[in-house]
Each structure stands twice: as structure tokens, then as C-alpha cells.
Amino acid sequence: MANEVKTKKILLVSTDRAFEQDTRAAFAASEVIQLITVEKSLPDIRGEVQETDLGAIIIDMDAARLDEMGALQRIMRRLEGRVPVVVVTQEFNAAAVRILVQLQVADFLVKPISTADLVRSVVAALQGTGHSQQTESQIYTFLPAAGGVGTTTLALQTAFQLHNSASRGASTCVVDLNFEQGACAEYLDLEPRFDITEIENRPERLDRQLLDVMLSKHASGLCVLAAPSNPADMRSFRTDVVVRMLDLVSAYFDNVVIDMPRTWFPWTETVLLGSNKLYIVSEMTVPCLRHTQRLIQAIHQTVGKEVRPNVIVNRFEQKMFDNGIKQADVQEILGEHFVGGISNNYRLVREAVDRGVPLHEIDPNANVIQDLKKIVLPDEVVAAPRKARSLFGIGKGLLRRKAG
């Protein structure tokens, strides 16, 4: 006797008759999905979403209306993450994105949408590839306080540490949001493959298959999503494009490390709000530390105190007997936001960049690596014996790197 297939109940909340009919037609052929419709506006919904056997909920709403956004927040609180919610909106703006990211909806689509896109989104939610408390990816965002402070190096090394860690070791992806001048792929001698123009006007086209094509894959298993450098084409991209990309990446990777540009774009606020850890990379100069202070204030004014900036001071030197900046000065300027310094090891970093390899491939016990691990993975730091290394390896492998 064949195994009985369990039916999945999908609740559709919508007052749009045409959308309701299209949705019914989309799921009509499925023998395992039972579509239930509630023809009410979102603020009028009461106990309909509380059914215990719902597999997913589709909410058709107007994100520009405050009463509907408030109703969505109440519904998400009542559900407590038990049922994935797919939101379909009539308009798209940065404020709506910020709230949807905070509420951790499984997915959100903007009308007009194809029924195929809606079905894919609902199926993904049913399969658990949306956000959930148990499987939610951890997002680490690195934001430079100034140019040339070493943000890319620290972001990449953090990604390797997460990828190889005992506690967080799992699938890891680096996302380079410096779309025109990013260097993440170049630092690892990889070909950047993310063509943002492919999805610029239709971000819903980005699915798991297309994402896989656009990922650059390191021999270690680390993945990098980076666009080819194009300094002459400096422009911004729509918030929904960036959010769609990050939402898909976070659905398929356990750790996501974001290398942010210094410039503040319309989507920057949304990325910061969606991050589990935000690190501002600074250095030991008075102008940079002062700008770091202003950047912290700007973050608090823009996204509120719920986002806590953690400041990493790169090329950190403890000066005792000269007139330079001391650790006490840094702590006084940055206060509780200062989480640690990274030793100034220019020779190691320069060699790694020139050879296109991660720092630990040259010296796994280097001070830079240990300093960063104390910040990112403090529970895994162990005292390791120092290993001597050759100072003449800088040219080794350099000529084997791919051109361009």
C-alpha cells in the first residue's frame, strides 16, 4: 500500500479577487497543497492565522499603509515563528523592507508577480528554506570607517575562521557589496561572477540555480558573491535587488560575511538592521577614530540603538613611551564599542594579498589571525606555539596566479 501523502494547508489573506483567482489556479494542480482563502483586509484578521496545522501563510497587503504594517507585526508576534509567512506587496520602499527584514518573513514579492514565482516562494517556505529560529544564518557585516583600513582582509579572514570553526563551522559565503570596486574575489585569486545587471530590473529572477552560477568558489569550500570591478560605473542599485540577493544567500548558507562599501547607499540601513554582528573597521589615527565616532552616531540616528556597532581597530600598536595614540586613548574615544585591536603585520598581509591566498595559509599562528579570533570566536582561542616561517616566500606562487 502506498504511503499516504500529507496535505499542506496554505492560507491566503487577500482582498484582490484577481490575485486570489490566479493563486487558486497556480496551486490547483497540486495534490498535496490545500489553499484556504480569507477575503479580509489585514487589520480585520483575528483568529484565522492561529490554525495549528497551517503549512504557510500568504499575505497580500499594501506595505505603504501603516495600519496594515502594524497588523502584520501583530500577526508575526502571535505566530512566534511557527508558520512561515510569504508577503506580497503592492509597493516597495526602504522603510517596508526594514520592517519585513526585522519580522523575518520567509519571503516577500512585489506585484505584478508570476504565479511560478509565487509557487516557488511558497514551496521554499514549506521546505524550511526561509528564516527560522533554529536554522537562521548568522550575518557578520564589516563597515569601513575610512578608505584603506583593511576591511576586506578582516572580512575574508573572518569568513575562513567561521567556515573552519568548531562551533560555527558550516557553509559560509562572503558577499562583496562594493559592486563597482570590490576586491574580495581578487584577494583570493578568484573570478568574480556576479552579474547584477541580470537581476537589476527583475530581482525575483534570482533563484538558487542562478545564484549557484554566480558564486565564485574557493578550494576550501568558501563561497564568494562578487561582481567584476567597474570603477567607471559608479551608481546605486535598488534596495529590493540587494535585499533579494542577501535573503537568498542567507537562506542557503549558515554564515554570511558582508564586505560593505564606505559610501552610504539607500539599502545600507536595511543591511545593517539585518546583521547579527556589525563591525566597524578603524585604525589608530586621530582623524579615523573621530570619524568612527561620527559613524557610530550616524548609525544610532538612522537605525536606532538596536544595532550595536563593534569597532575593530586595525594595525593596532600599543605605544608606551612615545607621544602616539595609546590603547587608553582608543578606549576613551570609542568606549564600549571598542572590541579589540588587530596587530600591525603589514608583511604578512601584503604577502597574502600578492599571492591571492588567505592569511592562515602563510602562517596559521600569526598575530593577526589570533587577534581576530579573540574578537569573532572568543570561545575557541587557544594558546598555540609560534612557528618560524620563511621571509622569502613572497614571490612563491605569485607567477602562477591567473592574469586579470
pLDDT digits 0-9 by tens, 162-185: 998 866 667 899 999 998 888 999
Residue 94 banded pLDDT, cuts 50, 70, 90: low
Count of the separate structural domains present in the chain: 2
Mean pLDDT of 238-264: 87
Q: The domain spanning residue 223 has which CATH number?
A: 3.40.50.300
pLDDT tens digits, one per residue of 115-159: 777 888 888 888 764 444 434 678 999 999 998 899 999 999 999
pLDDT at position 89 is: 87
Q: Looking at the domain assignment, is residue 131 inside a domain?
A: no
Residue 188 covered by a domain = yes
Which residue among 126, 147, 181 closes a domain? 126
* Same domain as 380, residue 262: yes
Domain range for 100 is: 8-126
Query: Sign of torsion, CA 89 94 99 100?
Result: positive
Q: What is the pLDDT of residue 327?
A: 77
CB count in 10 Å sphere of residue 375: 19
State residue 170's pLDDT score.
Answer: 73
Say if residue 93's pLDDT is above 70: no
pLDDT value of position 301: 87
Which grid coordinates belong to 109?
A: 514579492
In a domain, 1, yes or no: no
Could you tell me which residues come within 8 angstroms of residue 337 by beta carbon, excluding any fewer than 6 positions away? 280, 296, 308, 309, 310, 311
What residue type is 151 in one-letter code? T
- For residue 392, tell me if it sits in a domain: yes
Q: Which of 103, 126, 149 finishes a domain?
A: 126
Give the CA-trace dihedral at 12, 17, 19, 20, to 10 degrees. 40
* Cα–Cα distance, 189 to 192 (Å, whole number): 9
Q: Which residues contact 289 (CB under 8 A, 6 or more apart)?
A: 282, 313, 325, 330, 333, 334
pLDDT greater than 80 at residue 15 = yes
Per-residue pLDDT tens digits for 280-299:
999 988 899 999 999 999 99
Q: How confident is the model at residue 319 (pLDDT cuts 50, 70, 90)?
A: low
Instruction: Specify the pLDDT at position 235.
Output: 67
Q: Is residue 97 part of a domain?
A: yes
Nearest alpha carbon to residue 88 among 6, 200, 10 = 10
Quick one: cell of 331?
578606549
> Residue 308: pLDDT above 80?
yes
Beta bridge partners of 34: 9
107 belongs to a structural domain: yes
Give the pLDDT of residue 169. 63
> What is the model's pLDDT at position 92?
67
Q: Is residue 122 part of a domain?
A: yes
pLDDT at 281: 96
Task: Give yes or no: residues 337 and 279 share one domain.
Answer: yes
Q: How far apart are CA 315 and CA 368, in angstroms?
A: 9
105 lies in the same domain as 158: no
**Do 231 and 156 fall within a single domain?**
yes
Residue 381 confidence class, pLDDT cut points 50, 70, 90: low
Looking at the fold, whether 336 and 264 belong to one and the same domain comes out as: yes
Indicate whether 35 and 94 sit together in one domain. yes
Last residue of a domain, one of 83, 99, 126: 126
